[in-house]
């Protein structure tokens, strides 16, 4: 029987290019409930998160994170089966992202 199971991905250090935060999965649908973003740099940094291939058309989040600060975003982001979630930051190795929620199988 299918069920929702708690799920956590990360923390993942972002780079300047889109990379998987949740890999494409042919057997699970994901529901992201919380996105935690931590910026350890002395300057504000932009973070971009997409459902699907990294591009402006698939962005669900574009947010500036102040210097040495954290953003916590709560919502319901449903990720279809066989679809990746990707992210990048305006500068490499200073921002981490953790996604938590559920997967349904």
Domains and CATH numbers, the chain: 4-104 (2.60.120.340)
Tokens standing for residue 1: 């029987």
Give residue for tokens 């956590």: 8
Q: What is the pLDDT of residue 105?
A: 79
Band the pLDDT of 2: cuts 50, 70, 90. Answer: confident
Residues in the chain: 105
**Rounded CA separation 94/70 (Å):** 12
Give residue-wise pLDDT tens across range 9-25: 999 999 999 999 999 88
Q: What is the pLDDT of residue 1?
A: 62
Q: What is the pLDDT of residue 26?
A: 85
């Amino acid at each position: 029987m299918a069920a929702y199971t708690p799920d956590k991905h990360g923390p993942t250090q972002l780079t300047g290019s889109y990379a998987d935060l949740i890999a494409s999965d042919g057997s699970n649908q994901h529901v992201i409930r919380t996105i935690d973003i931590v910026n350890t740099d002395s300057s504000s940094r932009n973070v971009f998160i997409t459902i699907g291939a990294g591009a402006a058309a698939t962005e669900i989040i574009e947010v500036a994170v102040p210097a040495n600060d954290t953003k916590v975003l709560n919502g319901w982001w449903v990720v279809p089966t066989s679809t990746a979630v990707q992210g990048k930051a305006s500068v490499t190795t200073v921002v981490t992202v953790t996604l938590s929620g559920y997967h349904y199988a």
